[in-house]
């Protein structure tokens, strides 16, 4: 048995091969189209990204999402407890979802395990980057105390650097107001979205897709230079070609050999952002000037 097992939720957008490699236990989110419920472990599960976005384009009503069920949490925690006495659950920001509180309510139901619940203050592949760092340490035999110390260090450094192509899906989720939606759709303004204290906040705006793409290309090598850990996600919604172009730029400026992974948003997060979104998700430093002024 290892000393610590790691649990997270299905909003983490982790690749299946990494989940399996590092023995990460996932409580699946639910994506709901009408009366049909699909369990999602990230960007895999009952729906592939292709199946989800095809359904999204043709659905009569926009999908909704729901936090993992109590049973899903119990299963994930019990499976983790078979591997280790100490279990750390790292979940989507409590400012964005009720997942953290739901996990806390389930903990007393689990016998024979010491379970610590952590608010990541982020979501999607930024959450995934945090979880991977903890899972790597757990696989190498680190103690709960060592992993918690590392989490306390990296969570404040966890970054989302995103230029939103449109905000219709975010508007429907209630995370932007009518005025922002109007400006984006009318004047082709591209909002920069970041995490701050667990919330999604505006980091400024860029005018037009061409300028936004140029800013992301400029920022790409700076992201690599300023990443604090070895994994960087280039996260996208139906923009694979440009995501691969950004990865190529990053690889050319990657003397330390950091792992740069292109991943498509899974159905959980895709339900709230919609096609066209693109982001760097990593742990490290960031400066708004990289996008807004295109200078260090």
Collect all residues with Cβ–Cβ distance below 8 Å to 237 and sequence separation of at least 6.
Answer: 53, 264, 265, 270, 273, 274, 275, 276, 277, 278
Compute the mean pLDDT over every residue in the chain, rounded to the nearest whole number: 89
Residue 286 reports pLDDT greater than 90:
yes
Residues 172-178, mean pLDDT to the nearest whole number: 44
Residue 32 reports pLDDT greater than 50:
yes
Q: Could you read off the pLDDT of 240-264 as tens digits, one per residue?
A: 999 999 999 999 999 999 999 999 9
Which domains, and CATH codes, for the chain? Answer: 4-154 (3.40.50.10170), 157-292 (3.30.1180.10)
Residue 171 reports pLDDT greater than 50:
no
Burial class of residue 241 in the structure, from the number of CB atoms within 10 Å of its CB (0-12 exposed, 13-18 middle, 19+ buried): exposed
Single pTM value for the model: 0.92
Q: Could you read off the pLDDT of 45-83 as tens digits, one per residue?
A: 999 989 998 998 888 888 889 999 999 999 999 999 999
């Amino acid at each position: 048995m290892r000393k610590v097992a790691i649990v997270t939720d299905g909003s983490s957008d982790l690749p299946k091969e990494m989940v399996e490699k590092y023995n990460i236990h996932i409580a699946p989110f639910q994506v709901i189209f009408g009366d049909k419920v699909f369990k999602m472990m990230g960007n895999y599960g009952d729906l592939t990204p292709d199946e989800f976005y095809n359904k999204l384009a043709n659905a009569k009503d926009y999908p909704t999402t729901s936090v993992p069920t109590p049973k899903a949490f119990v299963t994930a925690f019990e499976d983790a407890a078979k591997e280790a006495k100490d279990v750390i659950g790292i979940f989507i920001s409590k400012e964005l979802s009720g997942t953290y509180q739901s996990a806390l309510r389930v903990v007393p139901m689990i016998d024979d395990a010491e379970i610590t619940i952590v608010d990541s203050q982020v979501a999607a592949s930024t959450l995934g980057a945090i979880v991977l760092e903890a899972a790597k340490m757990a696989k190498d035999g680190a103690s709960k105390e060592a992993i918690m110390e590392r989490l306390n260090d990296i969570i404040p450094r966890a970054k989302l650097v995103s230029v939103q192509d449109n905000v219709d899906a975010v508007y429907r989720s209630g995370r932007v107001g009518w005025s922002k939606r109007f400006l984006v759709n009318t004047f082709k303004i591209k909002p920069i979205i970041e995490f701050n204290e667990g919330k999604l906040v505006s980091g400024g705006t860029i005018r037009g897709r061409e300028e936004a793409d140029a800013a992301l290309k400029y920022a790409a090598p700076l992201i690599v230079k300023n990443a604090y850990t070895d994994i960087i996600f280039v996260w996208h919604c139906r923009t694979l070609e440009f995501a691969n172009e950004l990865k190529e730029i990053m690889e050319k400026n990657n003397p330390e050999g950091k792992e740069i992974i292109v991943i498509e948003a899974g159905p959980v997060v895709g339900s709230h952002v919609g096609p066209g979104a693109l982001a760097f998700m990593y742990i490290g430093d960031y400066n708004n000037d990289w996008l807004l002024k295109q200078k260090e």
